[in-house]
Structure 1
């Protein structure tokens, strides 16, 4: 999974933690009026922040070294799985001799990916809590279907019929998409494209 997708998911989870987010983010009287301007505005912000992430990543991470390490670890894992499927104990023992070295490489990969995240994570959270809420309404788009796939009311992306009744100041209609959720979806939609354009993708194909 792309690092940016992991970051976006973690950010969105944080927005749902009680005590960190006091209810849904947004404003009852936003500076940006109307769903269409709001939807396009957040879309632009999502693209801009993804570009920011990609630039930081490109500056801080040696992409050639990253791809080399990833190819080597992927080849080792593939060879190891093939040996296990074939039940070739001699081959398994030979491959396992490189386990310590491969663990070291995996740790280095993790550190390379974490460095840019440490820079981009805090600014992104600050933007969510202090910049975006006064600009946009609680909901900024409408989905044709519910997007709340996780049961139990966790990680809700769209308004439910119950929320329309219990929180009419936030949800006007069922399946309206919360503004943070629209950012999350837009960011996922464009992150892969931006990484390919900036040549910061982790895709080895």
Structure 2
């Protein structure tokens, strides 16, 4: 059930947020800025900015993990994940082997497994209802005041996702535009560096706090 999650929903949400421009569902927080970041940031310099944004990503990951640990029964969650994954693996193996008897037997558990998957999803979503609001407030009100529009440099372009709304790095065309916040090609946006650094440390932090969403 969870494996069929439509990733287009994530991209549509990011499109509605307008990370690199005014408008979107959080546009009222933008205060006229052309993109997340400041023309005259409090934190100046590439190195302090790199570590500053990374630190925010680490701290927010610890906050998310603390909320998960408090609200989610990790033992129950991992038990459900192991059970559903084992059922899915057995079912796929039976289907590949064209073992109709085994497939039919496993299909009888579909309703129960869907119920378990839904419960697992609800357990994972519950902490997000708590962490989402402070994360958005920090992301839209605090970080843009502290840091510049672009905060790091990449040796290569990172715009691997099609479309103009989800650029991780500045393009040559954006640098050539005098009205754009980009001043150097392949510079990483504030939100993009936060996004990448947060992902880089999230798995480590979840392991340390024993709040991993994987079945060990």
Asked whether the two chains share a fold, i.e. TM above 0.5, the reply is yes
Change (3 A) 1:49 1:167: farther
Q: Helix, strand or coil: the match of 2:58? A: helix
Matched residues in 2 for 1:76 and 1:12: separation?
A: 33
1:37 deviation in Å? 0.7
Query: What is the CA-CA distance between 1:152 and the residue it aligns to?
Result: 2.9
Q: Which has the bigger relative contact order, CA under 8 A and spacing at least 6?
A: 1
Which one of 195, 200, 208 corresponds to residue 197 of structure 1? 208
Question: Are 2:94 and 2:103, in contact at CA under 8 Å, matched by a contact in 1?
Answer: yes
Query: Structure 2: how far apart are the matches of 1:19 and 1:94?
Result: 52
Say if 1:90 and 1:75 are closer, same or farther in 2 by CA, change over 3 A. same
In the other structure, the counterpart of 1:175 is 186
Distance 1:152 1:114 in 2: 28
* Cross-structure match for 1:87: 98
- Provide structure 1 residue ranges, at least 5 long, that are not aligned to the other structure: none
Q: Please, which runs of 5 or more residues in structure 2 have no aligned partner?
A: none
Say which SS state the counterpart of residue 177 (structure 1) adopts. Answer: strand
Distance 1:203 1:126, change over 3 A: same
The equivalent position to 2:23 in structure 1, one of 8, 19, 24, is 19
Q: Secondary structure at the match of 1:67?
A: helix
Give the drift of 1:202.
2.0
Q: Does 1:101 align with 2:105?
A: no
RMSD value over aligned CA atoms? 2.0
CA contact (8 A) 1:145 1:175 kept: yes
Task: Label 1:12 to 1:37 Cα distance change in 2 as closer, same or farther (>3 A).
Answer: farther
CA drift of 1:15 comes to 4.3
- 150, 158, 174: which one pairs with 1:163? 174
- Contact residue 28 and residue 169 of structure 1 kept, 8 A: no
TM-score (structure 1 length as normaliser): 0.90
Rounded Cα–Cα distance in structure 1 between residues aligned with 2:105 and 2:209: 39
Q: TM-score, normalised by structure 2?
A: 0.86
Query: Quick one: distance in 2 between partners of 1:167 and 1:80?
Result: 57
- CA distances 1:55-81 after superposition (whole Å, capped 9, x unpaired): 000100000000000000001001101
Structure 1 residue 12: deviation in Å? 5.6
Q: Verify the 8 A CA contact 2:175 2:184 in the aligned structure 1.
A: yes
Deviations 1:170-197 (A, max 9, x none): 2111011111100000001000000000
Of 35, 55, 65, the residue aligned with 2:66 is: 55
Aligned residue number for residue 111 of structure 1: 122
Question: What's the counterpart of residue 75 of structure 2?
Answer: 64
Aligned length: 199
* Cα shift readout 1:37-65 (whole Å, capped 9, x = no counterpart): 11110010000000000000010000000
